[in-house]
Amino acid sequence: MKTIRVVLVALIAAVAFTSCKKEILPNPNPQTMDDLIVKADFSWKTTADYELTLQGPANRVVSVMEQDGTLIKKCLVVANKPYKMDVTLPAYASTIRLQYNGVAVDLALDSKKIVYSFK
């Protein structure tokens, strides 16, 4: 029984010590941009493009803003007709604010094509 415990402890110790290996980085201190090693699927883009389709019951101006209130675009929405626009936003943005007829609406940027109808 004692030998089984010793063998079991030795086996666990062997697995524990061999499973941890330090990852060796190809170039840990790059000096120039050419020294950087970047994965092929890495996106350097800092913006995201969205297509907004807006519709409302009356002819009104719609203000499209960032969450902090910075104006991105203004457009005239004609009553009951869809209006499409392309908007480029910072990639980190998760919502936008629409202001129509004195009412502000926050929309989640969960799709590249967003459709919204004002009431």
CA dihedral (43, 46, 51, 52) positive or negative: positive
Asked whether the beta carbons of 51 and 89 are under 8 A apart, the reply is no
Q: Choose between 31 and 27: higher pLDDT.
A: 31
pLDDT at 119: 87
Q: Tens of pLDDT along 105-115?
A: 999 999 999 99
> pLDDT category, 35, cuts 50, 70, 90?
confident
Domain ranges of the chain: 47-117
Q: Tens of pLDDT along 38-64?
A: 888 888 889 999 999 999 999 999 999
| Predicted TM-score of the model (pTM) | 0.63
19 pLDDT exceeds 70?
no
Alpha helices in the chain (DSSP H): 2-19
Q: State residue 19 phi and psi, 5-degree precision.
A: -80, -20
pLDDT at 34: 82
One of 2.60.40.10, 2.40.50.140, 3.40.50.720, 1.10.10.60 is the CATH number of 47-117, namely: 2.60.40.10
